[in-house]
């Protein structure tokens, strides 16, 4: 199956040959990303207490992604905020009555919160937390691509900037991508998909939809290696394999469960295995351990013994979020996310379409459709 998927991927990529993904820019920005300042001991305790107080004083709620630092995830949980995948982060911030939403994650997540809540203040610990998928897909080029294919419905992954969302017909996250494309395919619609080539290829293989794939990629998931995973599975034949669909096809092919971050956490409680090999950012281990205490988790291999990796299973931009810059943004109100109101209004239509659809078909943020058979 891997060979036919790869053949399919290569065939469509011919149609998107003209699109350039600026790998040099992505690598440069990833290398430049500085992890949050570490804090420990009494200073850490003091900062945590201060952040809790500021969240109350400023009528703010903390929404954190599973890939962020454990301290931030605990803080979000303990203060009535939420730790989740991108779909649930968007929904939670939208439904919550707080005047300020603090998003610990990467910039597109803050922008999505602002698009959905133009009247609220959205703050982030850093405005420099990029995402290589977002960087893979610049608005001008995306618009030209859409203009060149007016017969196709433009479906974009949430990991894109507000301008790209504004041009798209639909925004989806990994929790709901399969369901949305299944629905559009059943209506006979042809899809133009951006920016993640692997997630797009996976969705296409599950739904059979006619999809043109933008050649973007996530630097973290792109680095997982199929041969290394095969060797690890041989060493631990009793292990379950959990894979985020931003990973290469040959890695996805070896999974017991493919799905969004929430789906993968849910899988550790559902599957009988006591040991899991996990192909996604290692920040997720905090919630996996919490969900299944006593079970064990191993990072999927990123390369051969001599390989070097840019991310080493941890998103360099997620790692920029920490206690110090979280306290600072709350204290000063700096790092506010702003979205041009007209772009925000148009982006709201494509994001809102996803949220309405999720509500209609009662998709929880678990992406239950994203299960494949063991390899």
Cα 204 to chain center, whole Å?
19
Q: Does 250 engage in binding with ligand 13P (CB under 6 A)?
A: no
Q: Write the interaction track for ligand SF4 spanning residues 311-340; mark x where CB under 6 A is met and - where it is not.
A: ----x-xx----------------------
Cα 246 to chain center, whole Å?
9
Q: Exactly one of 60, 62, 101, 218 binds ligand SF4 (CB under 6 A); which one?
A: 218
Q: Does 103 engage in binding with ligand SF4 (CB under 6 A)?
A: no
Phi then psi dihedrals of residue 249, to 5 deg = -50, -45
The helix (H) or strand (E) run that includes residue 309 is: none
Q: Does 113 engage in binding with ligand SF4 (CB under 6 A)?
A: no
Taking CB atoms, the residue at the shortest distance from ligand 13P is: 85
Q: Exactly one of 117, 126, 136, 159 binds ligand SF4 (CB under 6 A); which one?
A: 159
For residue 195, cis peptide bond before it (omega within 30 degrees of 0): yes
Find the shortest distance in angstroms from Cβ 201 to ligand SF4.
Answer: 15
* Closer Cβ to ligand 13P, 126 or 173, answer by number: 173
Q: Exactly one of 181, 213, 218, 226 binds ligand 13P (CB under 6 A); which one?
A: 218
Cβ pair 331, 323 in contact under 8 A: no
Phi then psi dihedrals of residue 373, to 5 deg = -75, 155
Q: Which does 247 bind (CB under 5 to 8 A by kind): ligand 13P, ligand SF4, none?
A: none
Give the E-state strand segments of 180-319 in sequence order. 190-194, 211-213, 240-243, 257-258, 275-279, 296-299
Q: Exactly one of 9, 33, 82, 85 binds ligand 13P (CB under 6 A); which one?
A: 85
Interacting span for ligand 13P (CB under 6 A) from 28-36, 83-91, 203-211, 333-341: 83-91
In sign, the C-alpha dihedral spanning 125, 131, 135, 142 is negative
The helix (H) or strand (E) run that includes residue 98 is: none
Question: What number of residues does the chain have?
Answer: 375
* Closer Cβ to ligand SF4, 131 or 166, answer by number: 131
Q: Does 132 engage in binding with ligand 13P (CB under 6 A)?
A: no
Q: Exactly one of 122, 154, 219, 242 binds ligand SF4 (CB under 6 A); which one?
A: 219
Distance CA 370, CA 280 (A): 15
Q: Exactly one of 160, 254, 260, 266 binds ligand 13P (CB under 6 A); which one?
A: 260
Q: Exactly one of 73, 160, 261, 350 binds ligand 13P (CB under 6 A); which one?
A: 261
Within 10 A of 353 (CB to CB), how many other CB atoms are there? 16
In sign, the C-alpha dihedral spanning 357, 360, 366, 369 is negative
Q: Residue 324 contacts by C-beta under 8 Å, 6 or more apart in sequence?
A: 36, 37, 39, 47
* Closer Cβ to ligand SF4, 219 or 288, answer by number: 219
3-state secondary structure 272-308: CCCEEEEECCHHHHHHHHHHCCCCEEEECCCCCCCCC
Find the shortest distance in angstroms from Cβ 170 to ligand 13P.
Answer: 15
* Closer Cβ to ligand SF4, 185 or 221, answer by number: 221
Tokens, residue 31: 């290398």
* Closer Cβ to ligand 13P, 207 or 261, answer by number: 261
Find the shortest distance in angstroms from Cβ 260 to ligand 13P.
Answer: 3
Interacting span for ligand SF4 (CB under 6 A) from 213-221, 285-293, 324-332, 358-366: 213-221
Among candidate residues 131, 162, 129, 127, the one with its CA nearest the CA of residue 334: 127
Interacting span for ligand SF4 (CB under 6 A) from 4-12, 128-136, 199-207, 224-232: 128-136
Q: Exactly one of 72, 104, 106, 265 binds ligand SF4 (CB under 6 A); which one?
A: 106
Q: Does 112 engage in binding with ligand 13P (CB under 6 A)?
A: no
What is the binding site for ligand SF4 (CB under 6 A)?
Answer: 106, 131-133, 159, 218-220, 246, 281, 315, 317-318
């Amino acid at each position: 199956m891997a060979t036919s998927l790869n053949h399919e991927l290569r065939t469509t990529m011919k149609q998107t040959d003209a699109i350039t993904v600026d790998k040099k820019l992505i690598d440069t920005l990833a290398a430049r990303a500085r992890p949050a300042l570490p804090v420990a001991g009494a200073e850490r305790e003091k900062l945590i207490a201060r952040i809790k107080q500021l969240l109350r004083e400023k009528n703010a709620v903390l929404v954190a992604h599973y890939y962020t630092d454990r301290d931030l995830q605990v803080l979000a949980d303990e203060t009535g905020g939420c730790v989740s995948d991108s779909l649930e982060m968007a929904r939670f911030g939208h439904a919550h009555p707080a005047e300020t939403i603090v998003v610990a994650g990467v910039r597109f997540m803050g922008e999505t919160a602002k698009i959905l809540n133009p009247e609220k203040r959205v703050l982030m610990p850093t405005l420099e937390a990029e995402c290589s998928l977002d960087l893979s897909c610049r608005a001008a080029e995306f618009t030209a691509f859409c203009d060149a294919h007016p017969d196709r419905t433009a479906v974009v992954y949430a990991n894109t900037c507000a301008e790209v969302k504004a041009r798209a017909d639909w925004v989806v996250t990994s929790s709901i991508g399969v369901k949305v494309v299944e629905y559009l395919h059943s209506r006979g619609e042809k899809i133009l998909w951006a920016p993640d080539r692997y997630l797009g290829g996976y969705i296409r293989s599950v739904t059979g939809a006619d999809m043109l794939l933008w050649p973007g990629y996530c630097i973290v998931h792109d680095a997982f290696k199929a041969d290394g995973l095969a060797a690890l599975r041989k060493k631990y034949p009793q292990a379950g394999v959990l894979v985020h669909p931003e990973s290469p096809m040959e890695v996805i092919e070896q999974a017991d469960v493919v799905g969004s971050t929430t789906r993968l956490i849910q899988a550790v409680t559902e599957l009988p295995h006591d040991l899991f090999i996990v192909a996604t950012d290692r920040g997720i281990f905090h919630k996996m351990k919490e969900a299944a205490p006593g079970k064990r988790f191993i990072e999927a291999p990123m390369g051969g013994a001599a390989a070097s990796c840019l991310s080493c299973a941890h998103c360099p931009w997620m790692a920029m979020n920490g206690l110090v810059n979280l306290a600072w943004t709350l204290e000063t109100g700096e790092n506010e996310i702003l979205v041009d109101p007209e772009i925000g209004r148009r982006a709201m239509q494509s994001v809102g379409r996803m949220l309405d659809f999720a509500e209609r078909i009662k998709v929880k943020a678990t992406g239950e459709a994203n299960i494949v058979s063991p390899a």
